[in-house]
């Protein structure tokens, strides 16, 4: 199974460990995430300013993949959302298709409608499957309680995602967590918005929104949080102690990207997954035996 890996803007700048781990884990499961130098921004960051330009950037990247004849695998929820939405509209709305192809005309690219976009977690859930992943586990994470955080654009709007998972009661992330041997933590806040997209307008609102999610994880006694979007990680991980200070509590919930916890269960070292040894020890110290 070959995919072009679409890393977008945030992953190479703030979450390269996510990219490293995804490529490693994919390879173990017979999925090749191939590099593609020509990809640009997906357009999501300028949706608020001009949706036409935003959609045109998304379709530009879809065209680049079409010309290689390969489907796109994504890591960031916002990239997934913008690319999938653009592809969906190009397929279903003629007026939109003409409008965007016209904007693309100076670049020499035109949309053909020959490829699909899938989030890497969805590829693991749908195309690889739980059984194949379980069979590859050499270091079970049994004993760890891991809270899945879905983010928004991984699931919604659900009509563009062929209903691969339920928008309000999803279970694809729980399935992936279970395959590592760990126990998925159930909490009602798991599909709430982290507020990341409005961080540029001020910290207070996104911090409140993320606190609600962290409170849910803590209430249900999560040891670790797992995310599938670099924006969720900014809020759950990078902002966690600031949110904790504001809330007068210490959450102490280390945050990882999905391929990183799967990679740990596959026996990769922290370094091979773009992680620090200390980070992994803090989260899985009693569970993962050191054998280096």
Partner 1 sequence: MTVTDKNNVKSDEIITADQLDLNFKYEVAEEIGGEGILQCFQCGTCTATCPVRKFDPDFNVRRVIRLTLLGAKEKVLTSDFVWMCSTCYSCYELCPQNVKITDVMTALKNLAVKNGHAHPNVKVHIPILEEFGHLGEITEFENTIREKHGLHEIVQSPDKVKLIFEKRKLKLFMEGKLKDEGGE
Contacts with partner 1 by CB under 8 A lie at 8-10, 12-13, 16, 19-20, 23, 35, 37-38, 40-41, 45-53, 55-57, 60, 89, 95-96, 98-100, 102-107, 109, 152-153, 156-158, 167-168, 192-193, 195-198, 200-201, 205-206, 208-209, 212, 274
Cβ nearer to partner 1, comparing 210 with 240? 210
Cβ nearer to partner 1, comparing 103 with 287? 103
CA geometry: angle 92, 95, 101, nearest 5 deg: 90
Cβ nearer to partner 1, comparing 94 with 131? 94
Phi then psi for residue 14, to 5 deg, are -125, -5
CB of 215 to partner 1, least distance (A): 12
HSE of 144, CA atoms in CB hemisphere, 13 A: 31
Q: How far apart are CA 42 and CA 46, in angstroms?
A: 9
Contact 29, 124 (CB under 8 A): yes
Cβ nearer to partner 1, comparing 47 with 240? 47
CB of 147 to partner 1, least distance (A): 18
- Helix (H, G, I), strand (E, B), or coil: what is residue 38? coil
CB of 37 to partner 1, least distance (A): 6
Cβ nearer to partner 1, comparing 47 with 260? 47
Q: Which of 26, 16, 2, 7 is nearest to 266 (CA)?
A: 26
Contact 167, 158 (CB under 8 A): yes
CB of 108 to partner 1, least distance (A): 9
Q: How far apart are CA 179 and CA 174, in angstroms?
A: 9
Q: Compute CA 3 distance to the chain's CA centroid, rounded to the nearest angstrom.
A: 16
CB of 140 to partner 1, least distance (A): 26
């Amino acid at each position: 199974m070959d995919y072009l890996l679409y890393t977008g803007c945030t992953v190479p700048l703030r979450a390269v460990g996510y990219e490293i781990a995804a490529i490693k884990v994919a390879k173990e499961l017979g999925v090749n995430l191939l590099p593609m130098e020509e990809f640009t921004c997906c357009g999501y960051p300028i949706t608020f300013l001009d949706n036409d330009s935003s959609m045109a950037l998304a379709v530009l990247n879809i065209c680049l993949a079409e010309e290689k004849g390969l489907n796109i695998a994504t890591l960031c929820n916002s990239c997934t959302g913008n690319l999938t939405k653009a592809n969906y509209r190009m397929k279903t709305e003629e007026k939109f298709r003409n409008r965007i192809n016209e904007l693309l005309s100076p670049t020499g690219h035109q949309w053909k409608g020959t490829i699909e976009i899938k989030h890497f977690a969805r590829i693991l859930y749908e195309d690889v499957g739980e059984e194949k992943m379980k069979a590859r586990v050499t270091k079970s994470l049994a004993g760890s309680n891991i809270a899945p955080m879905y983010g928004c654009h991984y699931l919604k709007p659900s009509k563009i995602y062929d209903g691969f998972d339920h928008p309000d009661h999803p279970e694809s992330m729980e399935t992936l967590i279970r395959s590592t041997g760990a126990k998925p933590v159930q909490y009602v806040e798991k599909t709430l918005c982290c507020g990341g997209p409005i961080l540029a307008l001020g910290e207070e609102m996104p911090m409140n929104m993320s606190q609600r999610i962290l409170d849910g994880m803590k209430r249900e006694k999560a040891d670790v949080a797992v995310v599938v979007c670099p924006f969720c990680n900014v809020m759950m991980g990078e902002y966690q102690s600031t949110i904790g200070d504001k809330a007068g509590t210490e959450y102490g919930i280390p945050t990882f990207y999905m391929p990183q916890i799967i990679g740990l269960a596959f026996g990769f070292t922290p370094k091979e997954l773009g992680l620090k040894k200390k980070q992994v020890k803090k989260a899985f110290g009693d569970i993962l035996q050191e054998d280096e």
